[in-house]
Amino acid sequence: MKKEKLNEKTAGTIGVTAGKDVDLSRRDMLKGVAIAGLAATLPLSAMAEHVAAQQSDNVPPVGDPRTRFPNNQPMQEQAWPGLQRNMTPKPDCGETSYRGSGRLAGRRALITGGDSGIGRAVAIACAREGADVVINYLPQEEPDAAEVIDLIRREGRKAVAISGDLRTEEFCRSLVARAEGELGGLDLLVNNAGYGWFLPDILEHPSEKFDQTVKTNLYAPFWLSKAAVALMKPGSVILFTSSVTAFSPAGAFIDYSATKAAIVAFTSALAKQVAQRGIRVNGVAPGPIWTPMQIYFEAPDNNVESLNASTPLGRMGHPVEMASLYITLAEEASSFVTGSTWSADGGRL
């Protein structure tokens, strides 16, 4: 295609930014002249309609958030910790729906609970935004984790799977150290793994369940963050997954609600402490999200239906709808955002 060299004066006549030499094909020149001529003969409103009509064929329609995902999930049960691959319907974690744009290019992320649910969605999103990823999960969740690792590697990113129980400080320290070694550094920690159980009567609430909730939801993020801060460089980010129950506690989840409220305070306090190191700390507080947690904790038979009805949008969220919040909080464009917990509860509060 023959190229025409435009000088500043010529460029200005067809709407090209003046001040530089610009290479345009003859086709581009003719198109520009045609638009300029049309603009001279049509009123502004008609011109706007003409341009919008030309663009409409390439713009997908805006979807209704009430119906983007179904709200008629059948009742189902699985033993803890549950497998996402066995859920009906399977949660959308962005396997085919999330599109990246390089927002985390070159980053190195450790994500706990990265096999399923929100952690899985964040892992997929991080990879598609250009990050290398380590995911942690329980050994029972290996089938789900293998799927995530495959998805990350398809993006051309490094993917490492490290199974293990976060309820000991020794394992948390070793997880961070191994993640740093595998990735050649660590600049994003996503404390996502969580545990909860439906226990409506404190008189029948076993101390073992309370201990498991607190160790998983609070001790582990403390240990992991402590180990990560010691090796993170300025510009690094730590993210937490809290919950709507931090602000509107559920009576049947007293320990879960308490730990999620503590995470909000921990997020704010840690952000103040590590700001002097150039490290940002933020959190996300999801509402009811369709993950394995919704089917393993032995809630009443109408749990799925009641969770759908609990939001003004009339349905639970899907993990992919949370992923973009984590990416936004992690990317450098949000460098002035720290100490915040963003609510994403479908309008519930």
Residues tagged active-site: 256
Contact yes or no for 300/77 (Cβ under 8 A): no
| Number of C-beta neighbours around residue 211 at 10 A | 13
Q: What are phi and psi of 128, to 5 degrees?
A: -75, -15
| Number of C-beta neighbours around residue 47 at 10 A | 15
Length of the chain: 349
CB under 8 Å to 1, separation ≥6 — which residues?
25, 26, 27
The closest alpha carbon to 282, from 321, 245, 334, belongs to: 334
Contact yes or no for 80/296 (Cβ under 8 A): yes
The CB-side HSE value for 54 (13 A sphere, CA atoms) comes to: 7
- Cα–Cα distances in angstroms (integers) from residue 83 to residues 124, 140, 274, 283, 314, in the given order: 17, 8, 36, 25, 25
Contact yes or no for 99/155 (Cβ under 8 A): no
Collapsed DSSP state (helix, strand, coil) of residue 177: helix
**Nearest-angstrom CA–CA distance, 262 and 8:** 61
**Nearest-angstrom CA–CA distance, 41 and 49:** 14
Q: List beta partners, residue 6.
A: 22
User: The tokens 């709507």 sit on which residue?
Assistant: 244
What does the H/E/C string look like for 61-98? CCCCCCCCCCCCCCCCCCCCCCCHHHCCCCCCCCCCCC
